[in-house]
Amino acid sequence: MSVLLRIENLSVDFHTDDAVVHAVDGVDLEVHEGEIVAVVGESGSGKTVTAMSVLRLLREPPARVSADTLAFRGQDLRGLSPRQLRAIRGGPVGMIFQDPMTALNPVLSIGEQIAEAVLLHQDRRDGRAARARAVQLLALVGVPDAAHRARQYPHEFSGGMRQRAMIAMAIANDPDLIIADEPTTALDVTIQAQVLQLLRKAQRETGAATILITHDLGVVAELADRVVVMYAGRVVETAEVHALFGRPRHPYTLGLLASLPRMDTETDRLDPIPGNPPNMAAPPPGCPFHPRCPLARDVCRTERPALLDLGDGRRSACHFHEELA
Ligand code: SF4
C-alpha cells in the first residue's frame, strides 16, 4: 500500500500571554491508502491538534505549526494558500467532527449544504444534479425519507441524524482520506454503534483511508487496522490493532487497556491510570509518563526515550519495552 499522508517531526505550540503550551512535540505519522488508523490517548494528548494541523485548521496565531514533512499524495501541504487548502477539505479529504452542529450551517437546509459541498468540487456547476446527489447520499447514510429530510434544517435533526449528515458531506466527493475526530463521543450508546457501522460502510464505499481520533478503545477495536497511541504530545506506541491489544509494548498503552471494560472476565472493575496527564506548558523531564508509570526507574526521570522501531510495524518509546514483551 502506498503512503497517502506523511507527517514528519510535527510540532505545534500555542502561545498565550502566560505560557507556551507544547501541544504536539515531534510527531511522525504515516497513513497508507485504504487503511484505518486510530489515534488514541487521553484528552490533551495532542491527537486532535495533530489531525487539525494536517489541513491547517488551527488558528495561527496563537498556534505555531512546524513540520519537516506534511505531504498528502506527495503534495507538500505546508506552503498551500487558504484557497488551495479549501479545495482539499471536503474534496479529497473529508472531515467528520465530534459536534456536527459546529460544522453545519443552521440557516441552510441539510440538502443544500450537502449539495454545496458537491458543487464546490465540480467543474460543471449543475445544481439539480447536486441536489439529487445530496438526497442519494442521505439515503446511503441511512437517513429515512431522504428527499423530505433533505429540506429540513440542522435543528430538526437528532444528534445521530446530524452525524449521518456530516458523514454524507464528508464522502460527497469520494475522498481518499477521511479524518473523523471523536465522531461518536457526543452520541448515546445505541446511536454510537449505528454511527460506527455507518463509518465502516462509508469507508468501504469510498475506499478512503481514515484517521480516527478517539479516546475510546472500544471504537478502536471495532474499526481500526492500525493504532497510534499518543501521550503528552508525542507518539508513544504504534502497532497493528490485534498486536496492540494482545501485546502492548508501552506501559501507557497497558494502562489504557486496563481501563477498558472486558466481557471475558467476571469483574467489572476498571483500573484507570492513576494521576493526570502533565501540564504541557511545563512537561516533566525525561519520559513524560514517568510520574504515572509503575515501571519508572531513575533513567526515566532524566532521559527521554526515543520512538524505536521494533519490527513488524511496531514502535515504542519506552526504555523498558523489552521487559513488556
Ligand atoms: Fe515508564 Fe520509563 Fe517506559 Fe517511560 S520510559 S514508559 S517511565 S518505563
Residue 263 has pLDDT above 70, yes or no: no
Helices 127-140 and 110-120 pack at an angle, to 10 degrees, of: 120
* Per-residue model confidence (pLDDT) at position 123: 64
Residue 265 has pLDDT above 60, yes or no: no
Give the mutation target among 318, 321, 324 for probing the ligand 1 site: most ligand atoms within 8 A of CB: 318
Provide the grid cell at 141: 447514510
* Per-residue model confidence (pLDDT) at position 262: 56
DSSP output for 241-256: HHHHHHS--SHHHHHH
Residues 6+ apart with CB under 8 A from 177: 4, 5, 31, 72, 92, 93, 94, 208, 209, 210, 211
Distance in angstroms between the alpha carbons of the first and the last residue of the chain:
28
* Per-residue model confidence (pLDDT) at position 201: 85
Helices (H), the chain: 47-54, 82-88, 100-103, 110-120, 127-140, 146-149, 159-170, 189-206, 217-223, 241-246, 251-258, 298-302, 321-324
Q: What is the pLDDT of residues 159-206, one digit of tens each?
A: 888 988 988 888 888 899 999 998 888 778 888 888 888 888 888 888
CA atoms within 13 A on the CB side of 17: 0
Determine if ligand 1 sits within 6 Å of the CB of residue 290: yes
| Mean confidence (pLDDT) of the chain | 88
* Per-residue model confidence (pLDDT) at position 313: 87
Region 99-104: what's the mean pLDDT? 79
Partners of 226 in beta bridges: 37, 240
Give the mutation target among 234, 235, 236, 293 for probing the ligand 1 site: most ligand atoms within 8 A of CB: 293
* Per-residue model confidence (pLDDT) at position 271: 63
Determine if ligand 1 sits within 6 Å of the CB of residue 29: no
User: What's the CA gap between 114 and 173, in Å, rounded?
Assistant: 10
* Per-residue model confidence (pLDDT) at position 35: 95
Give the mutation target among 231, 250, 292, 295 for probing the ligand 1 site: most ligand atoms within 8 A of CB: 295
Do the bridges between strand 177-181 and strand 209-214 make them parallel or antiparallel, or are there none, so unpaired?
A: parallel
User: What's the CA gap between 297 and 319, in Å, rounded?
Assistant: 10
- Cβ neighbours around 87 below 10 Å, total: 14
Residue 269 has pLDDT above 90, yes or no: no
Q: Does the predicted model carry a pTM greater than 0.75?
A: yes
User: What's the CA gap between 250 and 71, in Å, rounded?
Assistant: 28
Alpha-carbon separation of residue 268 from 79, 256, 258, 280 (angstroms): 51, 15, 11, 33
pLDDT band at 17 (very low <50, low <70, confident <90, very high): confident
Do the bridges between strand 234-240 and strand 314-316 make them parallel or antiparallel, or are there none, so unpaired?
A: antiparallel
pLDDT band at 270 (very low <50, low <70, confident <90, very high): low
Q: What is the pLDDT of residues 113-158, one digit of tens each?
A: 999 888 887 766 788 889 999 999 999 888 999 999 999 999 999 8
Q: What is the pLDDT of residues 305-317, one digit of tens each?
A: 999 999 888 999 9
Region 77-92: what's the mean pLDDT? 87
Partners of 94 in beta bridges: 178
Alpha-carbon separation of residue 74 from 5, 42, 69, 208, 249 (angstroms): 8, 31, 10, 16, 31
